[in-house]
Amino acid sequence: MSKIAILTGGGDCPGLNPVIRAVVRKGINEGYQIIGIKNGWKGLMENDIMPLNLDTVSGILPKGGTILGTSRTNPYKKEGGIEKIRDNYAKLGLDALIAVGGEDTLGVAAKLIKDGITNIVGVPKTIDNDLSCTDYTFGFDTAINIAMECIDRLHTTAESHHRIIVVEVMGRHAGWIAVEAGIAGGADIILIPELPIDIEQVCSLIRKRHARGKTFSIVVVAEGAQFKEGTMVTKEQKLDEFGHVRLGGIGEILAQEIEKRTGFETRVSVLGHIQRGGSPTAFDRILGTRFGVKAVELVKNKKFGRMVALSGTKIIDIPIEKAIEVLKTVDMELYDIAKEFFG
Ligand code: F6P
Protein backbone atom coordinates (compact mmCIF):
# COMPACT_ATOMS: atom_id res chain seq x y z
CA MET A 1 0.00 0.00 0.00
CA SER A 2 1.39 3.44 -0.92
CA LYS A 3 2.21 5.64 2.04
CA ILE A 4 1.78 9.38 2.52
CA ALA A 5 3.10 11.32 5.53
CA ILE A 6 1.88 14.72 6.67
CA LEU A 7 3.61 17.28 8.89
CA THR A 8 2.72 20.74 10.19
CA GLY A 9 5.53 23.26 10.77
CA GLY A 10 6.03 26.84 11.97
CA GLY A 11 3.50 28.81 14.03
CA ASP A 12 0.26 26.89 14.52
CA CYS A 13 -3.04 28.28 13.33
CA PRO A 14 -6.72 27.39 13.26
CA GLY A 15 -7.46 25.22 10.21
CA LEU A 16 -4.52 22.81 10.49
CA ASN A 17 -6.68 20.02 11.90
CA PRO A 18 -9.25 20.33 9.08
CA VAL A 19 -6.34 19.85 6.62
CA ILE A 20 -5.07 16.77 8.50
CA ARG A 21 -8.57 15.31 8.63
CA ALA A 22 -9.14 15.94 4.93
CA VAL A 23 -5.78 14.38 3.95
CA VAL A 24 -6.60 11.29 6.00
CA ARG A 25 -10.18 10.93 4.76
CA LYS A 26 -9.35 11.54 1.10
CA GLY A 27 -6.14 9.50 1.36
CA ILE A 28 -7.99 6.49 2.78
CA ASN A 29 -10.68 6.84 0.10
CA GLU A 30 -7.91 6.68 -2.49
CA GLY A 31 -6.31 3.60 -0.92
CA TYR A 32 -3.30 5.24 0.78
CA GLN A 33 -1.90 4.59 4.22
CA ILE A 34 -1.38 7.91 6.04
CA ILE A 35 1.05 8.60 8.85
CA GLY A 36 1.57 11.75 10.88
CA ILE A 37 5.02 13.25 11.49
CA LYS A 38 5.08 15.00 14.85
CA ASN A 39 6.37 18.56 15.39
CA GLY A 40 7.27 19.55 11.84
CA TRP A 41 10.74 18.89 10.40
CA LYS A 42 11.98 17.98 13.91
CA GLY A 43 9.77 14.88 13.86
CA LEU A 44 11.07 13.74 10.49
CA MET A 45 14.67 14.11 11.74
CA GLU A 46 13.82 12.12 14.88
CA ASN A 47 11.48 9.60 13.26
CA ASP A 48 8.77 10.75 15.65
CA ILE A 49 5.52 9.58 14.08
CA MET A 50 1.91 8.78 14.93
CA PRO A 51 -0.71 6.72 13.13
CA LEU A 52 -3.43 8.62 11.33
CA ASN A 53 -6.68 6.83 10.62
CA LEU A 54 -10.43 7.39 10.77
CA ASP A 55 -10.33 7.18 14.58
CA THR A 56 -7.40 9.55 15.19
CA VAL A 57 -8.96 12.30 13.06
CA SER A 58 -12.50 11.86 14.36
CA GLY A 59 -13.74 15.06 16.03
CA ILE A 60 -10.74 17.26 15.16
CA LEU A 61 -12.47 19.49 12.56
CA PRO A 62 -13.45 22.24 15.04
CA LYS A 63 -10.24 22.04 17.09
CA GLY A 64 -7.65 24.82 16.87
CA GLY A 65 -3.91 24.10 16.73
CA THR A 66 -2.58 20.85 15.27
CA ILE A 67 -2.90 17.32 16.65
CA LEU A 68 0.55 16.64 15.14
CA GLY A 69 2.28 19.38 17.09
CA THR A 70 4.64 21.84 15.44
CA SER A 71 8.08 23.39 15.77
CA ARG A 72 10.25 26.05 14.17
CA THR A 73 13.07 23.57 13.55
CA ASN A 74 15.15 24.12 10.42
CA PRO A 75 16.85 20.84 9.42
CA TYR A 76 19.32 22.79 7.26
CA LYS A 77 20.61 24.39 10.48
CA LYS A 78 21.07 21.06 12.29
CA GLU A 79 24.19 18.93 12.14
CA GLY A 80 23.31 15.91 9.98
CA GLY A 81 19.69 17.09 9.74
CA ILE A 82 19.27 16.46 6.03
CA GLU A 83 20.84 13.00 6.17
CA LYS A 84 18.44 12.10 8.97
CA ILE A 85 15.50 13.26 6.87
CA ARG A 86 16.72 11.28 3.86
CA ASP A 87 17.18 8.13 5.99
CA ASN A 88 13.86 8.36 7.80
CA TYR A 89 11.95 9.12 4.62
CA ALA A 90 13.38 5.88 3.15
CA LYS A 91 13.01 3.88 6.40
CA LEU A 92 9.33 4.84 6.68
CA GLY A 93 8.80 3.73 3.07
CA LEU A 94 7.14 7.01 2.14
CA ASP A 95 5.87 7.69 -1.36
CA ALA A 96 5.13 11.33 -0.62
CA LEU A 97 5.11 13.94 2.09
CA ILE A 98 2.51 16.67 2.52
CA ALA A 99 4.15 19.66 4.23
CA VAL A 100 1.76 22.18 5.75
CA GLY A 101 3.38 25.47 6.62
CA GLY A 102 4.31 29.05 5.86
CA GLU A 103 7.36 30.57 4.17
CA ASP A 104 9.85 28.80 6.47
CA THR A 105 8.40 25.26 6.35
CA LEU A 106 7.76 25.51 2.62
CA GLY A 107 11.23 27.02 2.11
CA VAL A 108 12.72 23.84 3.61
CA ALA A 109 10.36 21.77 1.43
CA ALA A 110 11.56 23.56 -1.72
CA LYS A 111 15.21 22.89 -0.78
CA LEU A 112 14.56 19.21 -0.02
CA ILE A 113 12.92 18.83 -3.42
CA LYS A 114 15.84 20.60 -5.13
CA ASP A 115 18.27 18.35 -3.28
CA GLY A 116 16.32 15.32 -4.55
CA ILE A 117 15.49 14.09 -1.05
CA THR A 118 11.71 13.84 -0.90
CA ASN A 119 8.50 13.93 -2.96
CA ILE A 120 6.64 16.85 -1.45
CA VAL A 121 3.31 18.59 -1.92
CA GLY A 122 2.87 21.87 -0.04
CA VAL A 123 -0.15 23.32 1.76
CA PRO A 124 0.04 27.04 2.67
CA LYS A 125 -0.78 28.17 6.19
CA THR A 126 -0.25 31.33 8.19
CA ILE A 127 -2.42 33.74 10.11
CA ASP A 128 -0.31 36.51 8.53
CA ASN A 129 -1.74 35.76 5.02
CA ASP A 130 1.58 36.79 3.51
CA LEU A 131 2.28 33.85 1.18
CA SER A 132 2.27 34.67 -2.52
CA CYS A 133 0.24 32.87 -5.19
CA THR A 134 -2.73 32.16 -2.92
CA ASP A 135 -5.51 34.66 -2.29
CA TYR A 136 -5.83 33.47 1.29
CA THR A 137 -4.11 31.13 3.72
CA PHE A 138 -6.31 29.41 6.30
CA GLY A 139 -5.94 30.72 9.84
CA PHE A 140 -6.14 34.30 8.65
CA ASP A 141 -9.94 34.50 8.65
CA THR A 142 -10.11 33.17 12.21
CA ALA A 143 -7.39 35.60 13.33
CA ILE A 144 -9.13 38.65 11.88
CA ASN A 145 -12.45 37.63 13.39
CA ILE A 146 -10.84 37.31 16.82
CA ALA A 147 -9.04 40.65 16.40
CA MET A 148 -12.27 42.30 15.18
CA GLU A 149 -14.13 41.10 18.25
CA CYS A 150 -11.36 42.44 20.48
CA ILE A 151 -11.49 45.82 18.71
CA ASP A 152 -15.28 45.89 19.23
CA ARG A 153 -14.78 45.25 22.94
CA LEU A 154 -12.03 47.85 23.23
CA HIS A 155 -14.32 50.44 21.60
CA THR A 156 -16.80 50.34 24.45
CA THR A 157 -14.22 50.85 27.17
CA ALA A 158 -12.31 53.47 25.16
CA GLU A 159 -15.54 55.42 24.66
CA SER A 160 -16.57 55.25 28.31
CA HIS A 161 -13.19 56.50 29.54
CA HIS A 162 -12.53 58.95 26.69
CA ARG A 163 -9.26 57.22 25.94
CA ILE A 164 -7.09 56.31 23.02
CA ILE A 165 -6.53 52.56 22.85
CA VAL A 166 -3.66 51.20 20.78
CA VAL A 167 -4.30 47.60 19.71
CA GLU A 168 -1.17 45.65 18.72
CA VAL A 169 -1.92 42.74 16.39
CA MET A 170 0.33 40.12 14.77
CA GLY A 171 1.89 40.59 11.35
CA ARG A 172 5.62 40.33 11.06
CA HIS A 173 6.29 41.65 7.56
CA ALA A 174 2.78 42.23 6.26
CA GLY A 175 -0.10 44.14 7.79
CA TRP A 176 -2.99 42.03 6.51
CA ILE A 177 -4.39 41.30 9.98
CA ALA A 178 -4.16 44.97 10.99
CA VAL A 179 -5.86 46.20 7.81
CA GLU A 180 -8.67 43.66 7.58
CA ALA A 181 -9.43 43.46 11.31
CA GLY A 182 -9.09 47.25 11.44
CA ILE A 183 -11.59 47.83 8.61
CA ALA A 184 -14.00 45.26 10.10
CA GLY A 185 -13.65 46.74 13.59
CA GLY A 186 -13.87 50.38 12.53
CA ALA A 187 -10.34 51.41 13.54
CA ASP A 188 -9.58 55.13 13.42
CA ILE A 189 -5.96 54.61 12.35
CA ILE A 190 -4.20 51.48 11.04
CA LEU A 191 -0.41 51.19 10.98
CA ILE A 192 1.36 48.44 9.03
CA PRO A 193 4.92 47.21 8.36
CA GLU A 194 4.64 48.23 4.70
CA LEU A 195 4.46 51.95 5.55
CA PRO A 196 6.64 53.85 8.08
CA ILE A 197 4.74 55.37 10.98
CA ASP A 198 4.51 59.15 10.82
CA ILE A 199 3.79 59.89 14.49
CA GLU A 200 2.87 63.53 13.86
CA GLN A 201 0.30 62.45 11.30
CA VAL A 202 -1.13 59.88 13.74
CA CYS A 203 -1.49 62.55 16.43
CA SER A 204 -3.04 65.07 14.09
CA LEU A 205 -5.67 62.48 12.99
CA ILE A 206 -6.50 61.90 16.66
CA ARG A 207 -6.71 65.65 17.34
CA LYS A 208 -8.99 65.98 14.30
CA ARG A 209 -11.35 63.35 15.76
CA HIS A 210 -11.39 65.14 19.10
CA ALA A 211 -12.10 68.45 17.34
CA ARG A 212 -15.26 66.93 15.88
CA GLY A 213 -16.39 65.75 19.29
CA LYS A 214 -15.05 62.19 19.40
CA THR A 215 -13.27 61.73 22.70
CA PHE A 216 -11.90 58.25 22.02
CA SER A 217 -9.90 56.58 19.26
CA ILE A 218 -8.79 53.08 18.32
CA VAL A 219 -5.35 52.78 16.75
CA VAL A 220 -4.51 49.35 15.30
CA VAL A 221 -0.81 48.64 14.81
CA ALA A 222 0.86 45.54 13.35
CA GLU A 223 3.72 44.20 15.48
CA GLY A 224 6.15 44.67 12.57
CA ALA A 225 5.33 48.35 11.97
CA GLN A 226 8.23 50.78 12.33
CA PHE A 227 8.68 54.48 12.97
CA LYS A 228 10.02 56.54 10.07
CA GLU A 229 13.50 56.60 11.44
CA GLY A 230 13.39 53.33 13.35
CA THR A 231 13.76 49.60 13.21
CA MET A 232 11.33 46.85 14.24
CA VAL A 233 10.56 46.68 17.96
CA THR A 234 11.59 43.29 19.34
CA LYS A 235 11.16 41.36 22.58
CA GLU A 236 14.67 39.95 22.33
CA GLN A 237 17.51 40.11 19.82
CA LYS A 238 17.99 36.33 19.53
CA LEU A 239 17.27 34.93 16.06
CA ASP A 240 15.38 31.67 15.58
CA GLU A 241 16.59 28.97 13.13
CA PHE A 242 14.94 30.81 10.26
CA GLY A 243 16.55 34.13 11.16
CA HIS A 244 13.48 35.74 12.74
CA VAL A 245 13.47 37.86 15.87
CA ARG A 246 10.57 37.81 18.36
CA LEU A 247 8.56 40.95 17.72
CA GLY A 248 6.42 42.87 20.17
CA GLY A 249 6.35 46.22 21.94
CA ILE A 250 5.59 48.70 19.18
CA GLY A 251 2.11 49.25 20.69
CA GLU A 252 3.52 50.35 24.04
CA ILE A 253 5.99 52.78 22.48
CA LEU A 254 3.31 54.19 20.21
CA ALA A 255 0.85 54.64 23.11
CA GLN A 256 3.43 56.54 25.17
CA GLU A 257 4.28 58.77 22.24
CA ILE A 258 0.60 59.52 21.48
CA GLU A 259 -0.15 60.39 25.12
CA LYS A 260 2.96 62.59 25.36
CA ARG A 261 2.19 64.50 22.16
CA THR A 262 -1.62 64.82 22.40
CA GLY A 263 -2.14 64.86 26.15
CA PHE A 264 -4.99 62.32 25.73
CA GLU A 265 -5.00 59.38 28.10
CA THR A 266 -3.82 56.31 26.18
CA ARG A 267 -3.80 52.57 26.88
CA VAL A 268 -2.41 49.63 24.97
CA SER A 269 -3.73 46.14 24.40
CA VAL A 270 -1.51 43.46 22.84
CA LEU A 271 -3.59 40.64 21.36
CA GLY A 272 -0.66 38.25 20.84
CA HIS A 273 -1.32 34.52 20.59
CA ILE A 274 -5.04 34.92 21.29
CA GLN A 275 -5.21 35.58 17.55
CA ARG A 276 -3.78 32.14 16.80
CA GLY A 277 -5.78 30.08 19.27
CA GLY A 278 -9.19 28.46 19.32
CA SER A 279 -11.64 27.03 16.87
CA PRO A 280 -11.38 27.86 13.14
CA THR A 281 -14.13 29.85 11.41
CA ALA A 282 -16.31 28.14 8.79
CA PHE A 283 -14.18 29.80 6.08
CA ASP A 284 -10.96 28.32 7.48
CA ARG A 285 -12.50 24.89 8.04
CA ILE A 286 -13.70 24.81 4.43
CA LEU A 287 -10.45 26.18 2.98
CA GLY A 288 -8.39 23.69 5.02
CA THR A 289 -10.66 20.84 3.91
CA ARG A 290 -10.41 21.84 0.24
CA PHE A 291 -6.62 22.21 0.48
CA GLY A 292 -6.28 18.77 2.13
CA VAL A 293 -8.36 16.99 -0.51
CA LYS A 294 -6.48 18.75 -3.33
CA ALA A 295 -3.10 17.87 -1.77
CA VAL A 296 -3.94 14.15 -1.93
CA GLU A 297 -5.07 14.57 -5.55
CA LEU A 298 -1.68 16.12 -6.36
CA VAL A 299 0.08 13.15 -4.73
CA LYS A 300 -2.12 10.74 -6.69
CA ASN A 301 -1.22 12.52 -9.93
CA LYS A 302 2.47 12.64 -8.90
CA LYS A 303 2.47 16.44 -9.12
CA PHE A 304 5.32 16.82 -6.63
CA GLY A 305 6.93 20.15 -5.88
CA ARG A 306 3.52 21.82 -6.17
CA MET A 307 1.55 23.78 -3.56
CA VAL A 308 -2.23 23.99 -3.36
CA ALA A 309 -3.58 27.54 -3.51
CA LEU A 310 -6.80 29.54 -3.61
CA SER A 311 -7.36 31.60 -6.74
CA GLY A 312 -10.68 33.42 -6.64
CA THR A 313 -13.08 30.62 -5.74
CA LYS A 314 -11.00 27.81 -7.23
CA ILE A 315 -8.33 25.59 -5.68
CA ILE A 316 -5.35 25.44 -8.00
CA ASP A 317 -1.75 24.27 -7.72
CA ILE A 318 1.45 26.23 -8.31
CA PRO A 319 5.20 25.51 -7.90
CA ILE A 320 6.19 25.69 -4.19
CA GLU A 321 9.18 27.94 -4.94
CA LYS A 322 6.89 30.52 -6.56
CA ALA A 323 4.94 30.92 -3.31
CA ILE A 324 8.06 31.66 -1.27
CA GLU A 325 9.88 33.90 -3.76
CA VAL A 326 8.43 37.13 -2.39
CA LEU A 327 6.10 37.87 0.50
CA LYS A 328 2.60 39.02 -0.30
CA THR A 329 2.30 42.42 1.30
CA VAL A 330 -0.86 44.47 1.83
CA ASP A 331 -2.74 45.55 -1.28
CA MET A 332 -2.51 49.35 -1.18
CA GLU A 333 -5.96 49.68 -2.80
CA LEU A 334 -7.35 47.97 0.30
CA TYR A 335 -5.29 50.23 2.57
CA ASP A 336 -6.65 53.28 0.72
CA ILE A 337 -10.17 52.10 1.55
CA ALA A 338 -9.17 51.80 5.23
CA LYS A 339 -7.71 55.33 5.09
CA GLU A 340 -11.08 56.82 4.12
CA PHE A 341 -12.14 56.12 7.72
CA PHE A 342 -9.06 57.47 9.48
CA GLY A 343 -9.45 60.35 11.89
O1 F6P B 1 4.13 33.64 11.61
C2 F6P B 1 2.97 33.77 12.34
C3 F6P B 1 3.19 34.54 13.61
O4 F6P B 1 2.02 34.46 14.38
C5 F6P B 1 3.64 35.99 13.42
O6 F6P B 1 2.55 36.86 13.17
C7 F6P B 1 4.33 36.27 14.73
O8 F6P B 1 5.29 37.26 14.60
C9 F6P B 1 4.98 34.95 15.05
O10 F6P B 1 4.24 33.96 14.38
C11 F6P B 1 5.05 34.64 16.52
O12 F6P B 1 5.78 33.48 16.68
P13 F6P B 1 5.88 32.63 18.02
O14 F6P B 1 4.57 31.92 18.21
O15 F6P B 1 6.98 31.66 17.73
O16 F6P B 1 6.16 33.58 19.13
Domain locations in the chain? 3-138+280-323, 142-277
Cα distances (angstroms) measured from residue 269 to each of 151, 254, 266: 10, 11, 10
pLDDT at residue 229 in the model: 76
**Average pLDDT value for the chain:** 97
Q: How far is the CA of 281 from the centre of ligand 1 (A)?
A: 20
Query: At residue 107, does pLDDT exceed 90?
Result: yes
Task: State the Cα–Cα distance between residues 141 and 127, nearest whole angstrom.
Answer: 8
pLDDT at residue 141 in the model: 98
Q: What angle do CA 104, 109, 111 make, to 5 degrees?
A: 95
Query: At residue 134, does pLDDT exceed 90?
Result: yes
DSSP codes joined into one string, 60-93: -TT--S-TT------GGGSTTHHHHHHHHHHHTT
Q: Is 246 in the pocket of ligand 1 (CB under 6 A)?
A: yes
Write the pLDDT tens digit of every residue in 240-256.
Answer: 999 999 999 999 999 99
CATH value of 142-277 in 3.40.50.460, 3.20.20.70, 3.90.1150.10, 3.30.70.590: 3.40.50.460
Would you say 138 and 284 are in contact if contact means Cβ atoms under 8 Å apart?
yes
Among the atoms of ligand 1, which is closest to the Cα of residue 127?
Answer: 2
Q: Do 142-277 and 3-138+280-323 have the same topology in CATH?
A: yes
Amino acid (1-letter code) at residue 241: E
Angle between helices 199-211 and 250-262 (to 10 degrees): 50
Q: What's the whole-number mean pLDDT along residues 150-164?
A: 98
Q: What angle do CA 138, 141, 143 make, to 5 degrees?
A: 100
Query: At residue 137, does pLDDT exceed 90?
Result: yes
A 10 A CB-CB count for 58 gives 10
Highest CATH level, class, for 3-138+280-323: alpha beta
Write the pLDDT tens digit of every residue in 49-82.
Answer: 999 999 999 999 999 999 999 999 999 999 999 9
Write the pLDDT tens digit of every residue in 254-270.
Answer: 999 999 999 999 999 99
Among the atoms of ligand 1, which is closest to the Cα of residue 224?
Answer: 8
Q: Is 247 in the pocket of ligand 1 (CB under 6 A)?
A: yes
Task: State the Cα–Cα distance between residues 327 and 169, nearest whole angstrom.
Answer: 18
Catalytic residues: 128
Query: At residue 235, does pLDDT exceed 90?
Result: no
pTM (whole model) above 0.95: yes
Q: How far is the CA of 223 from the centre of ligand 1 (A)?
A: 10
A 10 A CB-CB count for 292 gives 29
Q: How far is the CA of 170 from the centre of ligand 1 (A)?
A: 7
Q: Is 244 in the pocket of ligand 1 (CB under 6 A)?
A: no
Q: Is 126 in the pocket of ligand 1 (CB under 6 A)?
A: yes
Q: Is 343 in the pocket of ligand 1 (CB under 6 A)?
A: no
Q: How far is the CA of 11 from the centre of ligand 1 (A)?
A: 6
